[in-house]
Structure 1
Amino acid sequence: MKKILVTLLAVLPLLGACTKKSNEILIGEFGSLTGSDATFGLSTNKGLRMAFDEINAAGGINGKKVKLITVDDQGKNEEAASAVTRLITQDNVVAIIGEVASSRSKAAAPIAQKYQVPMLTHASTNPTVTQVGDYIFRICFIDPFQGFVMAKFANQNLKAKKAAILRDVKSDYSVGLADVFSEEFKKMGGEITADLSFQSGDIDFKAQLTQIRSKNPDVIFIPGYYTEVGLIAQQARQLGIKSPLLGGDGWDSSKLHEIGKEAINGNYYSNHYTTESTDPAVVEFIKKFKEKYNETPDAMAALGYDAAKVLAAAIGRAKEVTPKAIREELAKTADFPAVTGKITINAERNAVKSAVVVQVQGPERKFITTIAP
């Protein structure tokens, strides 16, 4: 009897832990909370936390509370892979959200696919990310569409006939977007007068910009991240280049104007949503975000929020809280009402949705146009 009692006393804490754990749904997040593009990860995390706080305050998902486990990948591909391995093998998450950068999502996706844990990237736009396997999803548009959007905007809205490209050769995102822009712009009758490169972390771009200046392009397409883009804008204006600068969603950060200062004003990039939207859902999201964080949500915050809501809805529909059941429901996502537009996930596990073009005006982003698929 004494042995039985001792055994029960030893097991009871474990039973309590199991009961507690069974009432939680563990979701993993990996992102750049530190590093050269830390605003991406920090904004995403704020959007995710706000969404899950709302879900938990409303009773959770089928009565179970969500616990978000976040790992900083420091903006490094190898750390992204390590983060996802840890989230799956040590933290036992049932699904993962991340990353913003396509290169880091590509480093992590094979691990999620290997362990068959659904990974939902909210902002990685390189098309090859979801091609890793059937457990990899995204809620953002992809670069073939984003490249088309900016080529069409340059051609139709800015009446550009000649364009130069300055791409980051270390970024899958930048290379893929540059390739698509080049192809689409030429299809529209435009000419690519120069296609030059730099590498993430560079600070001097004057040699490339001098070559571009000699070609006198109507526009310059720079599909990079905000850190380098801000510096490029400054150096372009110092060299007397007046051509409009164009880019993709990698520009979207509160740091863009801080780095680029006046030189970045008046330039354009494609984005996932606009803070000028009059959609009641968007207006309410922005209001709640400002109340919670005392700042205006950028696109990464909005996408993080949407990713959390899409994933929660899939978990809520699933017959059981297992990676396989969640994967099956994510694949069925259709016409999901989100802050960044209605989300439908197609057979390739990519989202079909519109993009907006915005113009930088100091710390603000002026809505210019919407371009649908």
Structure 2
Amino acid sequence: MCLKLTYIIVGVVLVIVIVAGVAAYYTLGVPKGEEVIKIGGVGPLSAPGASIQGVELKKGIEIAVEMVNKEGGIGGKKVKLIFEDTQGIPEKGTAAMEKLIMKDKVVAVVGEYHSSVFLAEIEVAHKYGIPIIDASAWSAKIREKHYKEVFATAPCTSLNAEHEARFIVNSGFKNVLILAEDTDYGMDMAKDLTNSLKRLGFKGKVVSEVVSRTAKDYSPTLLKYKGSPTPPDIIVIAVTPPGGFLIIKQAYEIGLIPDIALAYVGTHIHSLQRVRCCVGPP
């Protein structure tokens, strides 16, 4: 079992426990005579979303639901998961939430990977007063909403930025390039990392560039910095898969690696093994 899936399972088991308490509180949301407690799941299972992460998320929730049901469910009722593919598109997230709440009559929702999608989803949850639990969306904007229906269990960009900044400072890097995707997550990560570096007294150069999350070719951007008189000594990648994986692959192909270090924010060993097969020997 991969490290990421292990974290997802552990985290989602806790999420299901929270949903149990929330479901008990919102008893009026469960139709009389209903033999199961329906919860919704949301996340990217297909392009242009980060489908690798979405599939892992869905598996984790399914395993957690199975574990809860084996223990007798919640208040003697089995939990039923209804999962919707949001494809990494905010409008799909909105539609999924409307369906789950109005048609499927779920009592709570859990999931999501992309911050921009989750921000759209919490508006629907807030509208109908349905609790929603954030599994892996990092944008600080989620917490800034202060919606009582939103349970933000995922780490926020500022916390991750602080760790990245400390790594950069302690490692002695002097010239930092941040490649940030054109989403709430990417923009927040770039802003928070820049601020964290300033707060730590970083004296080097920091350049932030926004790139498309769904691009197929990042080599024009990478080549621009390869040919620079003062190229970066580290590139921080704040681009969710598959875009982030393509950046690593193309950086290797044009010769940026190993001369320039790469730091991929938030990824994990299991996924990088797939990239390694593409970019070079193990």
Q: 1:197-217: per-residue Cα shift (whole Å, max 9, x none)?
A: 211221222222123231322
Q: 1:248-267: per-residue Cα shift (whole Å, max 9, x none)?
A: 22x348454434546489xx
Structure 2 residue 181 is the aligned partner of structure 1 residue 165:
no
- Compared with structure 1, are the counterparts of its residues 47 and 90 closer, same or farther at alpha carbon in structure 2 (3 Å cutoff)? same
Match of 1:176 among 183, 188, 205: 188
- Runs of 4+ in structure 1 off by over 6 angstroms are none
Structure 2 residue 144 is the aligned partner of structure 1 residue 127:
no
Cα RMSD (Å): 2.1
Structure 2 residue 252 is the aligned partner of structure 1 residue 237:
yes
Aligned mates of 1:190, 1:257 — CA distance in 2: 34
Aligned mates of 2:204, 2:88 — CA distance in 1: 35
Structure 2 residue 67 is the aligned partner of structure 1 residue 54:
yes
- Aligned amino acid, residue 175 of structure 1: M
Q: 1:329-356: per-residue Cα shift (whole Å, max 9, x none)?
A: xxxxxxxxxxxxxxxxxxxxxxxxxxxx
Kindly report which structure 2 residues correspond to 1:51-200, keeping only aligned pairs within 5 A, or say none.
Answer: 51-132=64-145, 133-156=147-170, 158-169=171-182, 171-188=183-200, 189-200=202-213
Aligned mates of 2:191, 2:234 — CA distance in 1: 16
- Is the CA contact (8 Å cut-off) linking 1:147 and 1:177 kept in structure 2? yes
Aligned mates of 2:269, 2:119 — CA distance in 1: 22
- Is the CA contact (8 Å cut-off) linking 1:229 and 1:260 kept in structure 2? no
Secondary structure of the structure 1 residue equivalent to 2:196: helix
Secondary structure of the structure 1 residue equivalent to 2:74: coil
| Structure of greater Rg | 1
Aligned mates of 2:159, 2:86 — CA distance in 1: 28
- Is the CA contact (8 Å cut-off) linking 2:248 and 2:275 kept in structure 1? no
Aligned mates of 2:120, 2:236 — CA distance in 1: 26
Could you say which residue in structure 1 is the equivalent of 2:45?
A: 33
| TM-score of the superposed pair, with normalisation by structure 2 | 0.80
- Is the CA contact (8 Å cut-off) linking 2:237 and 2:263 kept in structure 1? yes
Q: 1:220-272: per-residue Cα shift (whole Å, max 9, x none)?
A: 111111211222112222333221111222x348454434546489xxxxxxx
- Is the CA contact (8 Å cut-off) linking 1:78 and 1:107 kept in structure 2? yes
- Is the CA contact (8 Å cut-off) linking 1:234 and 1:261 kept in structure 2? no
- Aligned amino acid, residue 92 of structure 2: E
- Is the CA contact (8 Å cut-off) linking 1:29 and 1:68 kept in structure 2? yes
Q: CA deviation at 1:117?
A: 0.4
Query: How many residues matched?
Result: 245
Aligned mates of 1:108, 1:39 — CA distance in 2: 21
- Is the CA contact (8 Å cut-off) linking 2:39 and 2:107 kept in structure 1? yes
Q: Mark the runs of 5 or more structure 2 residues left unpaired by the alignment.
A: 1-30
Structure 2 residue 264 is the aligned partner of structure 1 residue 247:
yes
Kindly report which structure 2 residues correspond to 1:291-302, keeping only aligned pairs within 5 A, or say none.
Answer: none
- Compared with structure 1, are the counterparts of its residues 264 and 28 closer, same or farther at alpha carbon in structure 2 (3 Å cutoff)? farther
- Compared with structure 1, are the counterparts of its residues 174 and 264 closer, same or farther at alpha carbon in structure 2 (3 Å cutoff)? farther
- Compared with structure 1, are the counterparts of its residues 33 and 262 closer, same or farther at alpha carbon in structure 2 (3 Å cutoff)? closer
Q: Mark the runs of 5 or more structure 1 residues left unpaired by the alignment.
A: 1-16, 266-361, 363-373
- Compared with structure 1, are the counterparts of its residues 107 and 192 closer, same or farther at alpha carbon in structure 2 (3 Å cutoff)? farther
